Structure 1
Amino acid sequence: MSKTFTQTKEELVGKAKKQMDTTFGQGDWTVRQKLALTCRILFEGGHDSGLAGQITARATEPGTYYTQQLGLGFDEITASNLLVVNSDLEVLEGKGMANPANRFHSWVYEARPDVNCIIHTHPTHIVALSMLEVPLQVSHMDMCPLFDDCAFLKDWPGVPVGNEEGELISKALGSKRALLLSHHGQLVAGDSIEQACVLAELFERAARLQLLASAAGDIKPIPEKLGKEAHDWILRPTRSAITFAYFARRVLKKHGDALA
């Protein structure tokens, strides 16, 4: 008889976590390369909406962060054409200008020292859900990294280029990792680039599943205890790194120039 058949779930979970952490590394990409890969991953995942949306990550100096040039689509971002800006959106490295809507990123970074990457996009199914003015419902195991971790801003603040919008959005996000903005799109605030990228992809899929399920009937909730258990099991740094690496390998088959 197998020696693990008598072990408790808690013991097996702990063993699996330890094995994952010792088996898998965090990847060898630079911050710039991970951001460029994130742009291409999200492009392939349906997050592109013309020039709308911003992807940022903290840079080396306090109060500064990387972002893409205004005028370039997600499918055009490379490691070398990213900008470094300060909280006033003044360009410190690179050419061109940042999207003025990055202002609310500055507010989120100021309010959340734990956040190292922010993704804001307008993907189809999230936008469709936002038009209904209803919160995200997480009712499937795969989507549980967003379980009780997605806030909702019902009142559309308008074009997010002012400090008023930055204050409103950062307060609506609170301590959570995701935010659904009515009549607008989504925001993800991650501990790492890898985590933020994975959550953004899950967010769009969760919105799609919600629209499909609600068209067929009433969505049934999952037990809170089990939802939180799945949230903590899936949303681990090593798991995010493994998933991001898979997304990167897949996207590099079509977007080999991203790392340049």
Structure 2
Amino acid sequence: MLKDELNYDLLARYIPRPGRHALLPELTPRQSVALLCRVLSREGYNDHIAGHITVRQDDGTYLANPWELTWGEVTASDIVRLDQQGKVIEGEWNITPAINLHIDVHAARHDVGVVIHNHPQWGSVWSAVGRIPPIYDQTSALVDTDPVLYDEYRGTVEDTELGRAVVDALGTQKWALLANHGVLVVANGIRQAHLRAITLEWRSRLAWRVEALGGGSPLPASVARATGERTDANGFPFLWEAMAREEIRRDPTVLE
């Protein structure tokens, strides 16, 4: 699995005595995936049992959440391991046929350690109208690019040809809105994946609300880009850890 990297020079400015407190207990890869599922479900990535997260491992296999469980109930022991063709090689659950989309993204993008696909509540609104949500506040600007808009929905992505068309449309970008479908987010690791996924949903939700009131003034493009350049590369300091701690407090069994 590609390693999350922290900007320690930046963090040193915020931590008077680095290392005094552990922000999270040491997590296994499966625990990290389960926590990401739980955190994103609470953020709006909760379309019943739809969607998957895959995380590349050092040996070329992938960890993924299973088909049969919602993102809000999955635990570490539920996470399955897949081979390079997307077949389950460890675990007691199954994987959806749509996993080919993830496998194709991983194969095409060696810089990608995490792939997220789901139909989140607010990102799906903008995908349904085929529009990129404007950036109306700082939190919406934590990633420094607009999503790609893939507007040729012709069926579900378990169709191999259609899944590869989505991969081609994503290209080298960080995220995409799939028109009349949902979202696709890629990242180098868990922390960056979390930031990108929650930023897209926050941006989508706030933009809908602002425009429902008649519209507003989006941030200047230069300000939005500069904000994202400071945060996206390594993930916003402490944010992933704080949200993961919150999930552990709510339900410690997520780590089991």
TM-score, with normalisation over the residues of structure 1? 0.86
> 244-253 or 209-218, which moves further after superposition?
209-218
**For 1:119 and 1:23, how far apart are their aligned partners in 2?**
32
User: Is residue 225 of structure 2 the alignment partner of residue 210 of structure 1?
Assistant: no
> Secondary structure at 1:96's aligned position in 2?
coil
SS in 1 for 2:77: coil
Aligned length: 245
For the 8 Å contact 2:124–2:182, the answer to whether it is kept is yes
Say whether 1:191 aligns with 2:188: yes
Deviation at 1:18, TM superposition (A): 5.1
**157-166 vs 103-112, which moves further:** 157-166
Moved more, 211-220 or 15-24: 15-24
Q: Could you give the per-residue CA deviations for residues 180-221 of structure 1, whole angstroms, max 9, x where no partner exists?
A: 111111111011112112221221111111111122234434
The aligned counterpart of 1:4 is: none
| Equivalent position to 2:173, from 171, 176, 190 | 176
Matched to 1:248, the amino acid is A
User: Do the aligned partners of 1:44 and 1:251 also contact (CA within 8 Å) in 2?
Assistant: no
Q: From the CA coordinates, give the structure whose radius of gyration is larger.
A: 1
8 Å contact kept, 2:38–2:247: yes
Structure 1 stretches of 4+ moved >6 Å: none
Using the alignment, how far apart are the partners of 2:172 and 2:71 within structure 1?
Answer: 28
Any stretches of 5+ residues in structure 1 without a counterpart? 1-13
Is 21-30 or 125-134 further displaced after alignment? Answer: 21-30
Deviations 1:208-241 (A, max 9, x none): 111111222344343332222101112242635x
Counterpart Cα distance in 2 of 1:136 and 1:118 = 21
Give the RMSD, CA atoms, in angstroms: 2.2
Q: Secondary structure at the match of 2:72?
A: helix
8 Å contact 1:130–1:184 — kept in the other structure? yes
Partner of 1:250: 246
What does residue 160 of structure 1 align with?
157
Residue type at the aligned position of 2:242: Y
Q: Could you say if the C-alpha distance between residues 147 and 105 of structure 1 is closer, same or farther in structure 2, counting changes exceeding 3 Å?
A: same
Tell me how far apart the structure 2 counterparts of residues 222 and 238 of structure 1 sit (CA, whole Å).
21
160 and 15 in structure 1: CA distance in 2 versus 1, 3 angstrom threshold: closer
Q: Please state how far the C-alpha of 1:31 moved relative to its aligned partner.
A: 1.5
What secondary structure is seen at the aligned counterpart in 1 of 2:183?
A: strand
More helix by share: 1
Superposition pairs of residues 1-80 of structure 1, within 5 angstroms: 16=10, 19-20=13-14, 23=18, 27=24, 28-62=26-60, 64-80=61-77
Matches within 5 A, 1:82-97: 82-97=79-94
With 87-96 and 190-199 compared, the bigger mean Cα shift is at 87-96
Residue 138 of structure 1 aligns to which amino acid in structure 2?
Answer: I
| Amino acid aligned to 1:53 | G
**Please, which runs of 5 or more residues in structure 2 have no aligned partner?**
1-7
2-structure distance, mates of 1:185, 1:84 = 24
Q: Distance in 1 between matches of 2:14 and 2:159?
A: 43
Q: Give the partner amino acid of 2:213.
A: A
- What's 2:111 paired with? 114
Q: Distance in 1 between matches of 2:42 and 2:78?
A: 19
2:90 and 2:10 map into 1 onto residues whose CA distance is 42
Identity rate, percent: 26
Which residue of the partner structure matches residue 137 of structure 1? Answer: 134
Cα shift readout 1:22-43 (whole Å, capped 9, x = no counterpart): 9477852121111000111112
Distance 1:128 1:231 in 2: 23
CA deviation map 1:19-72 (0-9, x unaligned): 35994778521211110001111122221111101111002322x211112111
